[in-house]
Structure formats: C-alpha cells, structure tokens
Structure 1
Amino acid sequence: MKEIDLVYRTMFAELIQRSLDADFKTAYPLSGNFVAVAVKGKRYWYFQDTEDGKPVRRYVGPEAQEDITQRVHEFKTIKDDIRSRRKLVSTLTRQAGLPSPERFTGDVIEALANAGLFRLRGVLVGTVAFQCYSGILGVRLPTASMQTGDADFAQFHSISASVEDTLPPMLDVLRSVDETFREVPHQGDGRRSTQFANRSNYRVEFLTPNTGKSEYDGKPAPMSALGGASAQPLRFLDFLIHEPVRSVLLHKSGVPVIVPAPERYAIHKLIIASRRQVERTGPDKREKDIRQAGLIIEAMAQTRRQSDVALAYTEAWQRGPAWREAIAIGLSYLSKEAKVIFDKALLEGMGDIAENPADYGIRPAT
C-alpha cells in the first residue's frame, strides 16, 4: 500500500481546516453573534440572529471542543477562499491520487452539509466515509472498495433530541439536488421514513444506535433534528460513531464532513460482516465489509497506529459475549494474509497499551 507524500498529507490537513473555516462563514452570517449557554453543567455555543424580525438561536457545539471555540473567536476574520480550495482539491485528486466521490453523491452530501447535518453532529457512515480515510491515514486506498449507490448518515438519538435545532425539511434539501427524491415509507411504520430515494433508486438513509432490545431494530426512531426524517435503529452503531473525526470530501472546493474514527470503522465492519448471513445481498456486502476492514487495518499498521486499533478492538471485545462472537466470525472471513497483518497489528498495539493479547482471543499466527 503506497503512502502519500508528506506535502499532500499536509495539504489535505490544510483543506480540512480551510473548508471548516469557510463552512462557518456560510453557516453564520456576520449580522449575528455567538453566545455560550450552560446546559446541565456543561457549556455549549449557540448562534443568535434574527429571521423575519424574530430572534432565532442555532446550536453550534460544545465550548470544550477547541476547534469550535477557536472559530467562534476568529469568526469575523474568516475569509472564504473558494478558488484556492478548489485548486487544493484538484491537486489532491489529480496529482496525489486521492479518491473523490462521483458527482451526484458529492452533491447530496454537500447539500446536507450546507443544511447543517454535520453542525448538528450527524456522522457520514458507510462506503462514502471510507473514501475520506486516504487523506486521514496518509495512504492510497484501492478505489475498487469505494463504489456505492447510496449515502448513509447516523446520529445519536440523544443528540438529536437535545440540540434544540433542526435541519430544513429533509425532502426539500434532497430535492434541491434532484427533484425526483421521494420518501420511502418504513416497513414497520408507514407514517415515517428513514430512507429517501430518487428515480434512479439512489438512496439516502438515516441511522441511529439501538442500545436497547433487538426488537427495536425494526421500528423507526423519530429524530427531532433531522428535518422530519426518522432513523433506523441498529445494534453496534453506537460503537461506530462514538468520538468521530473530521475529514473532507474531495468534491468541488471540499465538503467538510464528520466520519467515524478509522479504527472503529474497521472493527465495526468485522462485526457487521458477521450479520450478513441472512441478507439476500449478504455475501457481496460481507466481502466488501471485510475488504474495507482489512485495508484500514493494513494502512494503520503501515503508518504505526496499531495502538489505536488495539484500543478500539479491546473496547468492542469488552462489551460482552455477543460482541466477541461477532468479532470472531468477522475475523474468520479475513484472508490468511489479512489475518496475519491484523494479528501482528494487535499484538504490537496491545503491547503499547499494556494489554495481554491472549485475554482478547489474539495469538500469533502460525
């Protein structure tokens, strides 16, 4: 797996910063101002402005999040440099060989980003998120593992309920990209929709963790921050979207996004692969899950981030027998070569975090 030159890794990090700066200026007009509000002992930034002569307040993020607070303080000095950012994106895709989404997917995610999805702590998940990891990890991930016909997003239900803000009507946001988008009634409750599809059956789906009983998996969860959309509750999703990271989608001048931490993405893919046995398209999806997991582990091992992998693995392992069984099944699908890389990465990573690999079912390959 070929590493990306340092100059391009630096350029990618700069693009994340500058895209987020530009996003702040777009989201918050200079006519308003930021205020810190205490909620249950913690302080959060909100943006105050007026619309149609009436005061409005929008959630921004935790005051303790340094990058958010820094931008609040620098708000009036942020400049939109769209042309230079387009040049950065072009350089990263054409010269560095980093992946970019196909145009329609990029337009969908840009529309949702501009509407405020990531500001409201939504997380881009699935294969489109995988496309964002090359720049983060500093390696060229194979593009064959990046093809998709949908876009998936996740948000914790507790966050959706507590931010006291919402996106514009979801159907309006999506129809700004393609007027043929429609709501797909949920099978468990036809009054709600967790998916939206266009005439070409391109799908946008919203997910939320189910940390309760498995019987809730089939029932849509109302999400007050998602512009009328509901979300499909899924097991194991809380692990995936805990402590996500910032990245940028290499589309147009760069779309700032929030994605799962790569080590969590890899371990989650192993777990999900074990659940594909009963799905009609299970074998194909399982192969894709396993390939993506193996590629991320290989990239993290190559860039000496084994301790991050070990921390994510041990956390999942400690969650109980169902998690351990799912991980074991997922590992059994890895190729022999990928399993050797995985085991070596975990052995080294667990040494870094002072854990005994045998306690977590890991032994040196023979």
Structure 2
Amino acid sequence: MQQIPHTYQTLYSELAQRSLDGSFASEFNVDGRFIAAEVKGRRYWYFDLPDGQGGKKRTYVGPVDDPEITKRVETFKDLKADIRERRKLVSTLVREAYLPRPERQTGDIVQALAEAGFFRLRGVLIGTVAYQCYPAVLGVRLPGTAMITADADFAQFHSISVAVDDQIPSVLETLRKVDPTFREIPHQADGRFTTQYASRSGYKVEFLTPNRGSEDYGGRPTPMPALGGAAAQPLRFLDFLIYQPIRAVLLHGPGVLVNVPAPERYAIHKLIVASRRRMDDDGTAKSRKDRAQAATVMEAMIEQRQTEDLADAFMEAYDRGPAWKEAIRKSMDQIEEGLRQRIRSALSEGIRKLERNPGKYDVEERPAVPPR
C-alpha cells in the first residue's frame, strides 16, 4: 500500500482541528451574511439567507451599537473565512493527496445530519461511507473499488439516545433539505415506526442500533428519542462496532466532522457480517465487499504497525462466543492466501505482545489438506 506523504497527513490533522473548532463556533447558516441597515436613524444588524429561489430571507439580529451582538457578527466573519480555508484544505487533500471524497448526495446528507446535531449526540457513521474516512485516518491509500455505495447508514446506542435528553430536528425534514423526494419507509414489523428513508432515485438512509438481546428483537424497530422522529433497526454485533468511536473528517465541502468506528473494530466487524450475509446474488456481492474492506483495513493497520490495536479487537470479538468465532474463521479462510498469511502472522505477533496465547485464537496458518 502507498503511504500518504507526511505533509498531507499534517494538513488533514489541521483540517480535523479546524472542523472541531467550527462545529462549536457555528450559530448561523454559513451560506448567509450579516447586513447593517439604518432604520429611523439607528443602525441594526440583519441576517440575509438565500431562499433557494433567487430571493432571500432577512432576519433581525439586533442593534449595531450592542457590543455583544457586533462581537457575534465579527466571530461569524472569522468563521466564514475559516470555512473558505477549510474548503481549500479539502480540495488539496482530494486533488493532490488523492484521498477519497463521497459523491455529492452522500456528502450533503452526512453534512445535513451533522449540522442537525446527530454526531454531537454521539451518533456514529458506519458502512462504506465511514470506510471512505480511513485512508486519511490510517495514512495510506486504500483501493477505491470497495468505496462505492448507494446508501448511508447511521447508528446510535439506544441507551445514549435516551440519556442525552436532547434531540435533533425532524430527520425527514433534514433529508428533504437535501432532496425533497425523500420519504419515510414504514417498518414492515410495525408501520408506526420508520428506520429507513428513500429518495425517488433509490438512495437510502438507514438508522441502526445494537441488539444485545434475543434474535426475536431483531425484527422490531426501536424508538430512538434523540433521532428526530426516526426509529432504529436493531442488529446483532453492532455494539462491538460502534463502541468507542473515533472522530474523522469526511472530505466534503469544508470538511464534515463525524464519528466513525475505530478502524480495528470496523475490520473485525466486517469479517463477522461477511459470513452471515444471505447467499443470493446481492448477498454474495456484499459479502465479497465486506471481506475486501476488512482485509484492506487490517493490511493497512499492519503496515502502519498498529497490530496490537488490531489484535486486541480481534481477541475481544473472538472471546464473545461460538457464533463470533465461527463467523471470523469462515471469513478469514476466504481471504486470498498470501494476504491471509500476513494477517494471521501479524495477529499472532500482536497477541504475544499483549501477553496472551495466540494458540487460543486460531491465528496460526493451518496446513493445506492434501487431496485424496
């Protein structure tokens, strides 16, 4: 794998910090601007926002001679200037460092949910859109063939959704600001709830939450108080994936600050779900894509000498029970032989460094069974 030059890794770190600062500083839509207008001999601040139809919506802000309000206006000017600089950083990382950016609709959807507060409320971006963040996070270029997607998946622990005592605006209205054709898809098990939204073009957005109980609960939607009217589909193994996520920047617009799974958890989770797909044509293709992403992230982490983190996540999943072990074994056996040997060797080394016994984790390459 080709490493991303250190200069661009530094630029990405700067973008991440600026994006974090911007997420705290933004109080007004950055597409608008403040205007000072005189009314009856006194000057007032107004905020003009384009209405999308060639006109503008004007909102009263306060008197110019109020120092606190004028300070807010000046801060906004600094924020807009910083957003221009962030856009330049994103453009440089995409054009010169060849880092991936999402297609426009995906980026707009993630940005809209970010601005609505989804990530502030500890939501996590998962799936292939999250995978697009890992080249910058890991400092290596990953194959682009495993980055194509026509949907976006978001997850949150139900316990967090209840505990934060806050909520984002309506998910449906947020999505319709991106594409007015988005509609709710009533859940098959209970039409009162919605976990999926789809546009006329077929683009899907889905909300998920871990299922730690019986498989019986997997078919029932879970109400999510923080998610602006959306429910979530419970899934097995998801609690492992979204535990202790990391911050990353999706290279869209001025950079979108998101929470994504730790790369080691993403890789091991993909091994697990790859072996549990339905084996029709669609499921087979998704299974191959899952394994490709898992193997690529593991290989990148090994090259970046992050084997202990990878080994720690591997052991945690392996120790969770027979179903987890079998799923991991099945997917590992289907990875191309040379790469599989490198992964198992690195895992064995990482497990030893963590003072555990690799023999308990089936990471030694098994000899091929000779034909009879």
- CA–CA separation in structure 2 for the residues paired with 1:264 and 1:316: 9
> Is the contact made by 2:26 and 2:76 (CA closer than 8 Å) also made in structure 1?
no
- CA–CA separation in structure 1 for the residues paired with 2:156 and 2:249: 18
- CA–CA separation in structure 2 for the residues paired with 1:271 and 1:79: 46
Residues 15 and 347 (structure 1), Cα distance of their counterparts in 2 relative to 1, 3 Å cut: same
The equivalent of 1:157 in structure 2 is 158
In the alignment, does 2:328 pair up with 1:316?
no
User: Deviations along 1:235-279, whole A, 9 cap, x unmatched?
Assistant: 000000001000000001100000000000000000001111345
> Is the contact made by 2:345 and 2:363 (CA closer than 8 Å) also made in structure 1?
no
> Is the contact made by 1:240 and 1:264 (CA closer than 8 Å) also made in structure 2?
yes
The equivalent of 2:72 in structure 1 is none
Identity %: 56
The equivalent of 1:25 in structure 2 is 25
SS at the partner of 2:3? coil
- CA–CA separation in structure 1 for the residues paired with 2:77 and 2:333: 50
SS at the partner of 2:228? coil
In the alignment, does 2:254 pair up with 1:253?
yes
The equivalent of 1:288 in structure 2 is 289
The equivalent of 2:100 in structure 1 is 99
The equivalent of 1:14 in structure 2 is 14
- CA–CA separation in structure 1 for the residues paired with 2:4 and 2:199: 36
* Shift of residue 350, structure 1, vs aligned partner: 1.1
- CA–CA separation in structure 2 for the residues paired with 1:258 and 1:324: 27
* Shift of residue 205, structure 1, vs aligned partner: 0.2
* Shift of residue 111, structure 1, vs aligned partner: 0.2
- The AA in structure 2 aligned to 1:149 is A
Residues 78 and 135 (structure 1), Cα distance of their counterparts in 2 relative to 1, 3 Å cut: farther
- CA–CA separation in structure 2 for the residues paired with 1:205 and 1:77: 34
> Is the contact made by 2:83 and 2:254 (CA closer than 8 Å) also made in structure 1?
yes
The equivalent of 1:237 in structure 2 is 238
- CA–CA separation in structure 2 for the residues paired with 1:153 and 1:272: 16
**Greater displacement, 345-354 / 137-146:** 345-354
Number of residue pairs matched by the alignment: 320
> Is the contact made by 1:343 and 1:365 (CA closer than 8 Å) also made in structure 2?
no
The equivalent of 2:189 in structure 1 is 188
- CA–CA separation in structure 2 for the residues paired with 1:193 and 1:217: 15
The equivalent of 1:54 in structure 2 is none
- CA–CA separation in structure 1 for the residues paired with 2:117 and 2:235: 23
- CA–CA separation in structure 1 for the residues paired with 2:245 and 2:27: 21
Residues 174 and 215 (structure 1), Cα distance of their counterparts in 2 relative to 1, 3 Å cut: same
* Shift of residue 342, structure 1, vs aligned partner: 1.2
* Shift of residue 214, structure 1, vs aligned partner: 0.7
> Is the contact made by 1:25 and 1:78 (CA closer than 8 Å) also made in structure 2?
no
> Is the contact made by 2:222 and 2:231 (CA closer than 8 Å) also made in structure 1?
yes
> Is the contact made by 1:92 and 1:98 (CA closer than 8 Å) also made in structure 2?
yes
The equivalent of 1:61 in structure 2 is none
> Is the contact made by 2:152 and 2:206 (CA closer than 8 Å) also made in structure 1?
yes
- CA–CA separation in structure 1 for the residues paired with 2:302 and 2:134: 14
> Is the contact made by 2:317 and 2:324 (CA closer than 8 Å) also made in structure 1?
yes
SS at the partner of 2:193? strand
The equivalent of 1:70 in structure 2 is none
- CA–CA separation in structure 2 for the residues paired with 1:148 and 1:358: 38
- CA–CA separation in structure 1 for the residues paired with 2:28 and 2:349: 45
* Shift of residue 14, structure 1, vs aligned partner: 1.3
In the alignment, does 2:199 pair up with 1:228?
no
Structure number with bigger Rg: 2
Mapping 1:28-177, distance limit 5 Å: 79-80=78-79, 81-177=82-178
- CA–CA separation in structure 1 for the residues paired with 2:178 and 2:316: 39
SS at the partner of 2:257? strand
* Shift of residue 28, structure 1, vs aligned partner: 9.2
- CA–CA separation in structure 1 for the residues paired with 2:176 and 2:349: 49
- The AA in structure 2 aligned to 1:5 is P
* Shift of residue 338, structure 1, vs aligned partner: 2.2
- CA–CA separation in structure 1 for the residues paired with 2:76 and 2:354: 42
* Shift of residue 159, structure 1, vs aligned partner: 0.2
> Is the contact made by 2:345 and 2:364 (CA closer than 8 Å) also made in structure 1?
no
CA RMSD between the two structures: 1.6
Q: What TM-score, normalized to structure 1? A: 0.85
SS at the partner of 1:191? coil
> Is the contact made by 1:350 and 1:356 (CA closer than 8 Å) also made in structure 2?
yes
> Is the contact made by 1:266 and 1:292 (CA closer than 8 Å) also made in structure 2?
yes
Residues 27 and 151 (structure 1), Cα distance of their counterparts in 2 relative to 1, 3 Å cut: farther
- The AA in structure 1 aligned to 2:240 is F
* Shift of residue 364, structure 1, vs aligned partner: 3.9
The equivalent of 2:50 in structure 1 is none
- CA–CA separation in structure 2 for the residues paired with 1:252 and 1:337: 39
